[in-house]
């Protein structure tokens, strides 16, 4: 088994020291899905939900979440982000959310991408909860992580 990087020799939680690493271009893409009733999808498409434009608000919430990841996840490093893109794609049975994050730095951006997807999905849930009691959030996953 690989040694955990967020613990010291006594097993105590520690932020990873990345001081000796060189800067590299970092990229991550994550996705997740929220299943919705057909009626809810129609309301989203028509932009007639009482809380407003669900997809735009979810995308903005995802971007905001990416920028706050280091405050939400205790051992994440604060990063200077170069690109954050959150896309919501309506599908037959719900909404697919994808998040892409880029930076040049000493550590990856996968947690930021996963956080962006998670918060965008939770925002959709919040905005639709009054009209849809069947929603489920599924398949939040990292699709790609690169460094060059």
Tell me the catalytic residues. Answer: 126
What DSSP designation does 49 have?
-
Report helix, strand or coil for 68.
coil
Neighbour-count burial for 35-66, b at 16+ CB within 10 Å, e otherwise = bbbeebbebbeeeebeeeebbebbbebbbebb
Beta-sheet strands, E only, within the chain? 24-35, 81-91, 94-105, 136-147
Q: Is 39 within 8 Å of 132 (Cβ atoms)?
A: yes
As separate numbers, helices (DSSP H) first and strands (DSSP E) second, the chain gives 4, 4
Instruction: Taking the CA atoms of 10, 16, 21 and 27 in sequence, report the sign of the dihedral they define.
Output: positive
């Amino acid at each position: 088994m690989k040694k955990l990087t967020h613990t010291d020799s006594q097993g105590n939680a520690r932020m990873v020291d990345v001081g000796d690493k060189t800067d590299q271009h970092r990229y991550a893409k994550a996705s997740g899905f929220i299943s919705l009733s057909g009626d809810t999808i129609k309301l989203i498409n028509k932009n007639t939900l009482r809380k407003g434009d669900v997809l735009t608000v979810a995308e903005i919430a995802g971007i905001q979440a990416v920028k706050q990841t280091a405050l939400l996840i205790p051992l994440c490093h604060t990063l200077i982000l170069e690109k954050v893109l959150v896309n919501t794609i309506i599908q037959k049975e719900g909404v697919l959310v994808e998040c892409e994050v880029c930076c040049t730095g000493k550590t990856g951006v996968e947690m930021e991408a996963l956080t962006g997807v998670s918060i965008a999905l939770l925002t959709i849930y919040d905005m639709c909860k009054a009209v849809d009691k069947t929603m489920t959030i599924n398949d939040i996953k990292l699709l790609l992580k690169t460094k060059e």
